[in-house]
Amino acid sequence: MNVFAHFFSHESSQPIPDLLPVIERAINGVEPLLKQTSGYPDDYRAPIQSALEYARALAARLPGPVEINRESYAGDPLVHALFPSIESVTDALSSSLALQNHLREFPADGEVYALMGMRRIEKAVVGMRLTGQMVQHDVMQNMVYFTSHTIESTATSEAQARELVAINFFDRLTGKVAQRIAQRKQEKQALLQEKDILMAQLRAADEHARPALQEQLAHLMSDLQNAIGALELDRYQEDFVAILLEPAQHLSLIQTPIKLDSMGIRRDNTDENHGKTIIFDDLIGYDRRNWTVTMVHCSDLQYEEFSSRLERAYRTLSV
C-alpha cells in the first residue's frame, strides 16, 4: 500500500517515475517469467501506467461517502433504497468480515470509510396504486431492491479508502490480462484433446475414411501450432496492451437513474406526485455480475466477537 500511495497522489498528466514496483506487481500477477524476457520492463511501462491512472480516476469517481446508520436510513432516500429495513443496515455492518477485521485492528477508532457494493434486482410484483382519489388493486409493478451487501477496502479516511479501491481496480485489470492468457491455454488444451481423438480415429479408420480424417488433422495441427505460438512469452505483451491501454472497455462505472417510491416501487418519470429519482452507480466488468457501488462512512462502531455474531445469526434464523 505504501508503494501505491505515491502513485495514487501523483499528477496523472505526467509520466510516473519509478514505475518498476507497479510493473513487478502486475507481472507477478500474470506470469513472473516475463521478467526474464528482453522486453521487460520497458515494453510494459505504457500499458501499466495507463491502467494505474485509469484505476485511480475510476476510484475518484465513485459516489459518496454516504453515511450508513439508522438515522440515514430514515432521512436519505439512497440509503433507504439500498436496504430493505432498518435492521438490515445493522446486519450488513455487523456481518461484514472486512469491517469487523478493521474494527479489531483499530478498536479505538470506531470510524470507517469503505467501498460498499450490492446486487440490484428488479422483479414484477402485484400491488396497489393511487390514481387521483382512486386506489387500484392488483396492479403489476416493478420492485427494485438490493442484496449481497459487501464492504471492502476499509480505511480510517476517505482518501485511504479510495486509494485501496484504486489498487483493487488495478489488480482487477491486470487479472483480466491473466484471464485472456488462461483462455488461450484452455483453447490449446482443447486442441490437444481433439488431436488425440482424431489420431485414435485414424488408427481405426479404413482406407475410405482415412483421407477426410487426415485433412481434419492437418487443419487441426495448423491451429495447434498457432495456439502454441500465441503462448510464447514474448506474445504476452500484446495482452497487456489489449487490456490495459483500453481499460474502460473492461472496467467502467455507469450511472443509472431510477425513480422509486418509499416502498422501492419503480415509478414513471412523468409521475410528479410519487417517488424520487435516485442515481445509482453501477460498476461494470468487476466480475461476472454488475455491482451497484458507493463509498460509505460508518461511525461509532464496535468490534463484535465472532461467537457473538454467530449467536446473533442463530437467533435470527430461529425467528
Q: Kindly state the average pLDDT of the residues 188-198.
A: 96
Question: How much of the chain exceeds pLDDT 90, in percent?
Answer: 60
Residue 117: pLDDT above 90?
yes
Q: At what angle do helices 42-61 and 236-244 cross, to 10 degrees?
A: 30
Please calculate the CA angle 140-141-143 and round it to the nearest 5 degrees.
Answer: 145
pLDDT tens figures, 307-317: 555 555 555 55
What is d(CA 319, CA 315) in angstroms, rounded to the nearest whole number? 6
| pLDDT band at 61; cut points 50, 70, 90 | very high
Q: According to the model, what pLDDT value does residue 6 have?
A: 56
Residue 195: pLDDT above 80?
yes
Contact 136, 162 (CB under 8 A): no
Residue 274: pLDDT above 50?
yes
Q: According to the model, what pLDDT value does residue 301 have?
A: 66
Contact 120, 319 (CB under 8 A): no
Q: According to the model, what pLDDT value does residue 127 have?
A: 65
What is d(CA 241, CA 243) in angstroms, rounded to the nearest whole number? 6
| pLDDT band at 146; cut points 50, 70, 90 | very high
- Strand 134-155 vs strand 112-131: parallel, antiparallel, or unpaired? antiparallel
Indicate the SS3 state at residue 119. strand
Residue 13: pLDDT above 50?
no
Q: Kindly state the average pLDDT of the residues 247-267.
A: 91
Most confident listed range (140-154, 165-179, 278-292):
165-179
Q: According to the model, what pLDDT value does residue 276 have?
A: 87
Closest to 8 measured CA to CA, from 55, 40, 44: 55
What is d(CA 188, CA 271) in angstroms, rounded to the nearest whole number? 56
Alpha carbon separation from 66 to 1, 78, 82, 225 (Å, rounded): 24, 9, 11, 54
Contact 124, 139 (CB under 8 A): no
DSSP E strand stretches across 23-133:
66-67, 112-131
User: What is the value of pTM for the model shown?
Assistant: 0.84
Q: Kindly state the average pLDDT of the residues 15-42.
A: 90
Cell numbers for 118, please give them: 450490492
Q: According to the model, what pLDDT value does residue 73 have?
A: 87
Residue environment code for 165-198, b if the CB has 16+ CB neighbours within 10 A, otherwise e? bbbbbbebbbbbbbebbeebeebbeebeeebeeb
Closest to 110 measured CA to CA, from 93, 124, 127: 93
Closest to 167 measured CA to CA, from 51, 269, 307: 51
Q: Kindly state the average pLDDT of the residues 275-304.
A: 87
Q: According to the model, what pLDDT value does residue 104 have?
A: 86
Closest to 273 measured CA to CA, from 156, 147, 129, 142: 129
What is d(CA 11, CA 200) in angstroms, rounded to the nearest whole number? 61
Closest to 120 measured CA to CA, from 101, 142, 98, 105: 142
Residue indicated by cell numbers 485511504:
160
Q: According to the model, what pLDDT value does residue 303 have?
A: 58
Q: What is the mean pLDDT of the chain?
A: 86
Q: According to the model, what pLDDT value does residue 74 have?
A: 86
Residue environment code for 61-84, b if the CB has 16+ CB neighbours within 10 A, otherwise e? ebebbbebbeebbeebebbbbbbe
| pLDDT band at 70; cut points 50, 70, 90 | confident
